[in-house]
Amino acid sequence: MKRYRDIAGDAGSDIAGQVAEQQARLRSRLAGVRSVVAVVSGKGGVGKSALTANLACCLALGGWRVGVLDADLNGPTMAKMLGVRGARLDVVGGGVEPPRTSLGVRVMSMDLLLPSDATPLTWDAPTQEDAHTWRGAMEVNALREFLADTNWGDLDLMLVDLPPGTDRLATVASVLPALAGSVIVTIPSEVSHLVVRKSITVATQTRAPVLGLVENMAGLFPGPDAGALAAAAGIPFLGRIPFDPLLAAAADRGAPFVALEPERDAARALARIAAAVRESLERYWQETPGSSW
């Protein structure tokens, strides 16, 4: 049996060339995307995906051209929440046309590629041990393909909805040429804060700025102050989104909550957070010459 050290070069696979070609294609696809922002939590169950969907809708309502990449390959929800689940994927000009929501938000998700609700995403390997070893690398490659093979067109902003895990931001940052920033989500819970603190540390170690911390489900139960957490970490506090069952119901229907219920307290809070993100990005563009792709 040969070991890696016994093989000269790449054994004719041209892996380096394949990755370089794919990365060049990725840059070409993202040439019209002005900024990419990751939505991060580290802790599952905090409503990060619902926040991503509604931020996208708020910014689209404000006239921005927005796209959403669902980076949660094993638990994708963006297609469902944004109302494009089951949409047909057409190939145009060598790339996949992402379906658009009623507000014009472009969406790409693994959910659009899986044949049924019960079909999990699996990696083929001779043994489960091999599958576990290669899973991280395969997920990175799948994200790179999503970015490189999708006709994103001209966007003011692409939001990337990350899966739970404090390491996920570093994974996405390794794929993207640049990030304009990250938004971190928590809920009023000691357990959530414990994990989110680690996510904040990871986010501050990337080259992109942390745009701020959001507290979701505010008022659902008593808990620690997210504003104090943001202050201790030295990052902006973007605001609190009050718990609203209508927000979850709208996500289940694939309806834009912020457009259907604009007078609800939760919708107003989402609009304020979207405005703060927009202001931060506009300032970023002014302060970073050539910041667009």
Domain count, the chain: 1
Closest among 67, 162, 74 to 110, alpha carbons compared? 74
Between 24 and 22, the more confident residue is 24
Kindly state the helix (H) or strand (E) to which residue 139 belongs, with its residue range: helix 128-148
Distance (Å, whole) CA 25 – CA 83: 28
Between 140 and 118, the more confident residue is 140
pLDDT higher than 60, residue 1 = no
Has residue 5 been placed in a domain? no
CATH of the domain at 46: 3.40.50.300
Between 150 and 7, the more confident residue is 150
Banded pLDDT at 94 (limits 50, 70, 90): confident
Segment 208-226 shows an average pLDDT of: 94
Has residue 127 been placed in a domain? yes
Has residue 23 been placed in a domain? no
| Domain carrying residue 112 | 39-287
Has residue 215 been placed in a domain? yes
Closest among 276, 138, 160 to 214, alpha carbons compared? 276
Has residue 234 been placed in a domain? yes
Has residue 91 been placed in a domain? yes
Between 181 and 145, the more confident residue is 181
Q: Tell me the percentage of the chain whose pLDDT exceeds 90.
A: 62
Has residue 233 been placed in a domain? yes
Banded pLDDT at 182 (limits 50, 70, 90): very high
168-175 vs 128-148: helix crossing angle, rounded to 10: 50
Least confident of 196-205, 233-242, 265-274: 196-205
Name the residue with tokens 């507000």: 103
Query: What is the pTM assigned to this prediction?
Result: 0.87
For residue 169, the cross-strand partners are none
pLDDT higher than 60, residue 154 = yes
Segment 218-238 shows an average pLDDT of: 95
Query: What integer pLDDT is reported at residue 10 of this predicted model?
Result: 54
For residue 215, the cross-strand partners are 186, 240
Name the average pLDDT for the chain.
87
Segment 126-153 shows an average pLDDT of: 72
Has residue 50 been placed in a domain? yes
